[in-house]
C-alpha cells in the first residue's frame, strides 16, 4: 500500500496534494477492488469501545474486599478447629453477598445494552465513478463520501466540493450552533476547529458536500478521545475508602480484645484448645459478618429505586458516592439547555422585543408589537422563504434534516400568525444564492402574485453592505451611516449576551431581475437566537444549591452564551460575570496556586477542550471535593471517567459517554440528578445507622464473652451461639434499617464532610455506651437468675444468650434520629423493621422449641422465672436510652443522627 496514512494536518494540505497522498480521485473515488484491499489492510471503520469486563472478572471483583478477606480467614480458622457449622455459615455470607453484587451489576449491564442503538449505519460513497451505499464500517481512507442534510458523518475527512454545508459538532466540541464549513485550505492549528474538515460522529444540518476520507476508526478525532478515556484512571469511591478504613479499625479491635482474652486465659492456666476456640469466638463476635451483605443490599435497593426514577446505576458504590457529591460539573448543550434553537430577541429599527414561544404562540415579555407589526410580517416572510428546511416532512424530522436556526424561523412564523405553508404557496422560489463562508449571506428569489420578491438573511455586517434603505413600521427611509453604526452596535450587544444574531432584508420587483439581485435591499431587522434552558432546570439547580452542592458549567460554547445561560438557570448570580475561556487556562503541570483558586471560585468555563475538562475535574478532586460530571458528548467521556461519579444522558448521549459513565439518565433530566443525590444521601444515612447498630451489638458480644470468661466461665457464650446472633439477630434488623426511607430533610443541609469516616468519633462514644448498656443488661440477667432462679451454668448460659438476642432486637428502636418522636419516627415507620423483628423472634422460637436445633446451640428448656428474667433485662436497654433522650433532649449524648449529621 503506497499511500501515506494516517495523514497529519489534512486541513492544511491543498486538495491536489491530499488526493495524491491518498491515491484517489475527486470525481471517481476509489475503485471497488482498491477499496476492498484498503479495507483489509487498514481494518474496518469500527469504533473500539472500552473493553468490557468478562463475567468471571466481574464475579471475582465481588470478593476483592478487606471485609471478605477477614471473613475468609475466620471461615478457614473455624474449619481448622472443626467448627464446620460456623465455617459454612461464614462462607454462605460471603457467597450471598457476592451474588447480590454480581447480579445487580449484571442487571445494569443489561439495561445499558437496551439503551444502545443497534441500527447498522450506512454511508453513500462514489466508487469507480458510481454512487453506492455501503455499511459505514467498510469506509476506508481515500473513499469519496457524499454528505447531505440528515447524514451522520462516518469518518474524518477533508471537504473537496461544498454547497452550503453546515454541521452540528456539539457531540465533539460542545458548540451548540452548527458550524459553517468551507473548502479553503487552512493554516491555523487545532484540527478540532478546522472548518474545511468533517468529523466522525457529527451530523449534517444543511447543505451537501463531497468529502475525501482521511481517517477512520481509532485515527479519527472521536477515536483519539476514546483513547484518552482509556488512559483516564477511575477513582476509588469514597464509600470503598470508608468501609476499608472501618474494617481496619474493627480488625485492630478484634486483635486487641482477642489478645487480652488469650493473655488472661494463659494467666489462669486454661487449656490451650479452650483458649483458641474462645479466641475464635471473640474474633467472630468482634467483626460484624453482616456488614458486607447489609451494605450491598442497601446499595442494591437504592439502585433499584434510582432505576424507577430514570437513573441506571452501573456500579453499586456509585449510589452512595452520589450522595456525597459536593460539586457537579455539567455540560451546557442538551444538559442544561433544550439543545434546540429558539428565537429570543426581535430587534427592529423602532423597537426591540424579548420574546418567547409558549403553546405554539408568540409572546412578548415587556411591550407589544404595535410599532413594528409590518416589520414582523416581513421578517417572518423572509425567514420562511429564505429557508431550506424541507416542508414535506414532520416537525420532528425537520429538526434532523435542517439547520436548527432555519427550523426556529419556521416556528417563529407559525407562532406569530403567519403560517409558513401559506407564505411558500404565495411566493414560489425561482432562484437561490446559497450561503457561503465568503459572502456570509443566503438569498432567494420568488415569484408572487404582484411581482417578484428577494429575501435575504445573513450576518449583520455582510447584509448591511447590501442594504440601501430600512423599514420602520410602514415607512421606508434611507439607511445612513449613523443608522448602520447603531445597528452594528446593537448586534454586538446582543452577541455579548450570548445570542446568535442574523439580519434580514428584502426587495420587491415588478419584473424579474437579472442574475445579480443581491443589492439595494431594504433592512427589516435582526433576530437573536438562543438554545434555551430546560424548563425544569432552575428548580433542580436551586435544590442542589440548597443542599450545599456547587454547580459548575463546562462547555465548548461561546463564553458569553455560556454566561448568559448560567445566569438564566441560577448557576451564577445576575451580577457575576466571571467566566474562564479554555484559551486562558494554562497547562495543569504549570498551574500555580493562584490559578487553582481562580478555577475553584469560577462557575462557568467556555471553549474548553476534552483535556481541559479532565484537568478541571482533577483540580477539584485534589482540593478535596467529591465530583460528579454530567455530559452527553464524546468530548465529555474522559472527564466522566475521571470524576467520582460520571453521569451520562441516555437519550441523546453518545455511546462513548454512556459506556464511560457510572450512572446513565434515561430521561436526560438534570432534575433526576437532584433526586438521585437525595437518594444517595438517604442511603449513606441508612448505612451509617445500620453500621452503628451492628458494631454496637457486636461490641456488646465482645464485652460479654470477655467478662463472662472472668466472672462466670461456665456461662460463657459458645462460638455457634455467637454466630447465630451475628447471622440472625444482627443481620435482619440491620438490613431493615438499610432499606428505610431515611430523613426527608437531607437536601436541606450541606453535604457531609468527605473526610469524615462512616462512624465519627462521637458515634464511637455512642457505640461504646450502647454496648455497655446491653452488656450490663445481660450481666444483670445472669445475676438475677443466679440469685432467684438457679445457679446451673447451662441455664445461665441460655439466659445470657436469650437476653442478648432479645436486647439486640429491641436495640433497633434506639437508631431513630435525635429530633424524631419516641413512638413515631423513621424506624417505627419502617415496615421492614417490623418484618425483621417478627422473622427473628420466629427463628429464635423455632431454634428453641425444636430439639435438634436446640441441641446444636446448646440450649435447654428453661423455667418461666428464667424467661421473665430474660424479658425484664432485654427491655432495659431501650427503656434507658429512650428515657435519656426524653430527659436530656437538648444535650443528648445518644442522638447520633442530628440535623447537622449526614
Continuous segment of H or E residues that includes residue 209: strand 203-215
CA–CA distance, 357 with 65 (Å, rounded to integer): 55
Residues 704/286, Cβ–Cβ less than 8 Å: no
SS3 of 846-859: the string is HHHHCHHHHHHCCC
CA–CA distance, 569 with 338 (Å, rounded to integer): 12
CA–CA distance, 125 with 127 (Å, rounded to integer): 6
How does DSSP classify residue 199?
-
Helix (H), strand (E) counts: the chain: 31, 25
Q: Which residues contact 420 (CB under 8 A, 6 or more apart)?
A: 384, 391, 410, 413, 414
Active-site residue, from 143, 168, 331, 414 = 331
Q: How far is CA 597 from CA 11, 87, 307, 642, 750, in A?
A: 38, 54, 37, 20, 21
Q: Is 147 helix (H, G, I), strand (E, B) or coil?
A: strand
Other C-beta atoms within 10 Å of 302: how many?
27
CA nearest neighbour of 294 among 726, 843, 816 = 726
Residues recorded for the chain: 902
Indicate if the alpha-carbon torsion angle 568, 570, 573, 576 is positive or negative.
negative
For residue 369, cis peptide bond before it (omega within 30 degrees of 0)? no
Instruction: Quote the cell numbers at residue 548.
Output: 450545599
In the block, residue with C-alpha cell 489462669: 268
Q: Which residues contact 220 (CB under 8 A, 6 or more apart)?
A: 155, 156, 199, 200, 201
Residues 686/739, Cβ–Cβ less than 8 Å: yes
The CA radius of gyration of the chain, in Å to the nearest whole number, is 36
Q: Which residues contact 56 (CB under 8 A, 6 or more apart)?
A: none
CA–CA distance, 320 with 300 (Å, rounded to integer): 10
Q: Is 125 helix (H, G, I), strand (E, B) or coil?
A: strand
Other C-beta atoms within 10 Å of 157: how many?
30
| Angle 396-337-233 from CA coordinates, rounded to 5° | 110
Other C-beta atoms within 10 Å of 252: how many?
11
How does DSSP classify residue 580?
E
How does DSSP classify residue 725?
I
49-54 contacts at long range (C-beta below 8 A, 24 or more positions apart): 49/226, 49/655, 49/656, 49/659, 50/226, 50/229, 50/230, 50/659, 50/660, 52/109
CA–CA distance, 502 with 343 (Å, rounded to integer): 11
Is 331 one of the annotated active-site residues of the chain?
A: yes
| Angle 757-758-764 from CA coordinates, rounded to 5° | 85
CA–CA distance, 711 with 677 (Å, rounded to integer): 50
Instruction: Quote the cell numbers at residue 276.
Output: 483458641
Other C-beta atoms within 10 Å of 33: how many?
10
Q: Is 576 helix (H, G, I), strand (E, B) or coil?
A: coil
Instruction: Quote the cell numbers at residue 237.
Output: 469511591
Continuous segment of H or E residues that includes residue 538: helix 537-546
CA–CA distance, 665 with 371 (Å, rounded to integer): 46
Residues 302/319, Cβ–Cβ less than 8 Å: yes
Active site residues: 331
Amino acid at each position: 500500500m503506497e499511500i501515506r496514512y494516517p495523514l497529519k494536518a489534512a486541513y492544511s494540505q491543498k486538495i491536489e496534494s491530499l488526493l495524491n497522498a491518498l491515491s484517489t480521485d475527486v470525481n471517481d473515488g476509489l475503485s471497488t477492488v482498491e477499496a476492498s484491499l484498503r479495507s483489509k489492510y487498514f481494518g474496518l471503520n469500527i469504533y473500539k469501545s472500552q473493553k468490557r469486563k468478562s463475567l468471571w472478572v466481574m464475579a471475582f471483583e465481588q470478593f476483592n474486599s478487606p471485609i471478605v478477606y477477614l471473613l475468609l480467614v475466620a471461615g478457614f480458622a473455624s474449619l481448622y478447629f472443626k467448627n464446620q457449622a460456623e465455617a459454612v455459615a461464614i462462607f454462605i455470607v460471603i457467597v450471598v453477598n457476592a451474588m447480590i453484587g454480581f447480579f445487580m451489576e449484571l442487571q445494569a449491564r443489561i439495561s445499558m445494552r437496551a439503551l444502545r442503538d443497534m441500527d447498522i449505519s450506512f454511508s453513500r460513497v462514489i466508487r469507480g465513478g458510481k454512487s453506492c451505499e455501503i455499511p459505514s464500517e467498510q469506509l476506508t481512507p481515500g473513499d469519496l463520501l457524499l454528505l447531505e442534510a440528515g447524514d451522520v458523518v462516518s469518518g474524518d475527512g477533508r471537504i473537496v466540493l461544498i454547497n452550503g454545508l453546515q454541521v452540528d459538532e456539539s457531540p465533539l466540541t460542545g458548540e451548540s450552533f452548527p458550524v459553517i464549513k468551507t473548502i479553503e485550505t487552512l493554516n491555523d492549528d487545532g484540527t478540532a476547529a478546522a472548518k474545511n474538515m468533517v468529523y466522525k460522529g457529527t451530523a449534517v444540518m444543511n447543505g451537501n458536500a463531497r468529502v475525501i476520507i482521511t481517517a477512520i476508526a481509532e485515527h479519527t478525532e472521536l477515536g483519539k478521545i476514546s483513547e484518552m478515556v482509556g488512559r483516564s484512571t477511575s477513582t476509588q469511591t469514597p464509600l470503598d475508602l470508608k468501609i476499608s478504613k472501618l474494617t481496619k479499625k474493627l480488625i485492630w479491635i478484634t486483635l486487641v480484645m482477642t489478645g487480652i482474652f488469650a493473655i488472661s486465659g494463659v494467666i489462669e492456666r486454661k487449656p490451650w484448645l479452650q483458649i483458641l476456640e474462645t479466641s475464635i469466638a471473640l474474633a467472630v463476635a468482634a467483626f460484624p459478618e453482616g456488614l458486607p451483605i447489609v451494605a450491598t443490599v442497601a446499595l442494591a435497593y437504592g439502585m433499584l429505586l434510582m432505576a424507577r426514577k430514570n437513573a441506571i446505576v452501573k456500579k453499586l458504590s456509585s449510589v452512595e458516592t452520589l450522595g456525597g457529591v459536593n460539586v457537579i460539573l455539567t455540560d451546557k448543550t442538551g444538559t442544561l439547555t433544550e439543545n434546540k434553537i429558539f428565537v429570543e430577541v426581535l430587534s427592529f429599527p423602532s423597537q426591540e422585543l424579548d420574546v418567547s414561544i409558549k403553546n405554539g404562540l408568540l409572546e412578548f415579555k415587556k411591550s407589544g408589537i404595535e410599532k413594528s407589526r409590518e416589520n414582523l410580517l416581513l421578517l417572518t416572510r423572509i425567514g420562511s422563504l429564505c429557508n431550506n428546511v424541507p416542508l414535506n416532512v414532520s416537525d420532528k424530522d425537520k429538526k434532523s434534516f435542517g439547520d436548527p436556526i432555519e427550523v426556529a424561523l419556521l416556528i417563529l412564523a407559525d407562532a406569530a400568525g403567519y403560517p409558513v405553508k401559506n407564505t411558500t404557496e404565495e411566493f414560489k422560489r425561482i432562484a437561490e444564492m446559497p450561503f457561503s463562508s465568503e459572502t456570509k449571506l443566503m438569498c432567494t428569489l420568488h415569484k408572487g402574485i404582484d411581482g417578484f420578491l428577494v429575501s435575504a438573511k445573513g450576518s449583520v455586517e455582510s447584509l448591511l453592505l447590501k442594504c440601501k434603505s430600512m423599514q420602520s413600521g410602514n415607512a421606508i427611509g434611507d439607511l445612513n451611516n449613523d443608522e448602520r453604526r447603531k445597528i452594528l452596535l446593537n448586534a454586538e450587544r446582543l452577541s455579548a449576551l450570548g445570542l446568535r444574531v442574523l439580519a434580514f432584508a428584502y426587495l420587491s420587483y415588478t419584473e424579474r431581475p437579472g442574475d445579480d439581485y443581491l443589492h439595494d435591499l431594504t433592512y427589516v431587522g435582526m433576530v437573536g437566537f438562543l438554545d434555551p434552558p430546560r424548563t425544569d432546570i432552575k428548580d433542580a439547580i436551586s435544590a442542589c444549591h440548597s443542599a450545599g452542592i456547587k454547580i459548575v458549567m463546562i462547555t465548548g460554547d461561546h463564553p458569553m452564551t455560556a454566561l448568559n445561560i448560567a445566569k438564566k438557570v441560577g448557576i451564577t448570580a445576575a451580577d457575576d460575570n466571571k467566566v474562564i475561556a479554555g484559551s486562558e487556562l494554562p497547562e495543569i503541570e504549570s498551574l500555580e496556586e493562584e490559578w487553582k483558586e481562580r478555577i475553584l471560585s469560577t462557575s462557568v468555563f467556555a471553549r474548553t477542550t476534552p483535556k481541559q475538562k479532565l484537568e478541571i475535574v482533577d483540580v477539584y478532586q485534589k482540593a478535596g471535593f467529591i465530583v460528579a460530571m454530567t455530559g452527553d458528548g464524546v468530548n465529555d467521556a474522559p472527564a466522566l471517567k475521571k470524576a467520582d461519579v460520571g453521569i451520562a444522558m441516555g437519550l441523546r448521549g453518545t455511546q462513548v459517554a454512556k459506556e464511560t459513565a457510572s450512572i446513565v439518565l434515561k430521561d436526560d433530566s438534570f432534575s433526576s440528578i437532584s433526586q438521585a443525590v437525595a437518594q444517595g444521601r438517604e442511603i449513606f444515612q441508612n448505612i451509617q445507622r445500620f453500621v452503628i447498630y451492628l458494631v454496637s451489638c457486636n461490641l456488646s458480644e465482645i464485652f460479654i464473652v470477655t467478662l463472662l470468661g472472668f466472672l462466670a466461665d461456665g456461662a460463657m457464650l459458645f462460638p455457634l451461639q455467637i454466630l447465630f446472633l451475628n447471622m440472625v439477630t444482627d443481620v435482619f434488623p440491620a438490613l431493615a434499617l438499610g432499606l428505610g426511607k431515611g430523613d426527608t430533610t437531607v437536601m436541606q443541609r450541606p453535604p457531609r464532610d468527605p473526610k469524615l469516616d462512616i462512624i465519627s468519633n462521637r458515634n464511637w462514644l455512642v457505640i461504646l455506651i450502647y454496648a455497655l448498656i446491653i452488656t450490663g443488661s445481660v450481666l444483670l440477667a445472669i445475676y438475677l437468675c443466679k440469685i432467684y432462679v438457679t445457679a446451673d451454668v447451662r441455664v445461665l448460659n441460655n439466659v445470657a444468650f436469650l437476653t442478648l438476642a432479645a436486647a439486640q432486637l429491641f436495640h433497633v428502636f434506639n437508631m431513630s434520629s435525635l429530633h424524631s418522636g419516641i413512638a413515631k419516627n423513621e424506624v417505627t415507620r419502617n415496615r421492614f423493621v417490623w418484618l425483621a423483628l417478627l422473622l427473628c423472634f420466629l427463628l429464635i422460637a423455632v431454634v428453641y422449641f425444636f430439639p435438634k436445633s436446640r441441641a446444636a446451640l446448646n440450649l435447654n428448656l428453661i423455667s418461666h422465672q428464667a424467661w421473665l428474667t430474660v424479658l425484664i433485662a432485654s427491655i432495659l436497654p431501650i427503656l434507658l436510652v429512650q428515657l435519656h433522650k426524653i430527659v436530656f433532649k437538648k444535650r443528648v449524648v445518644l442522638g447520633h443522627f442530628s440535623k447537622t449529621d449526614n
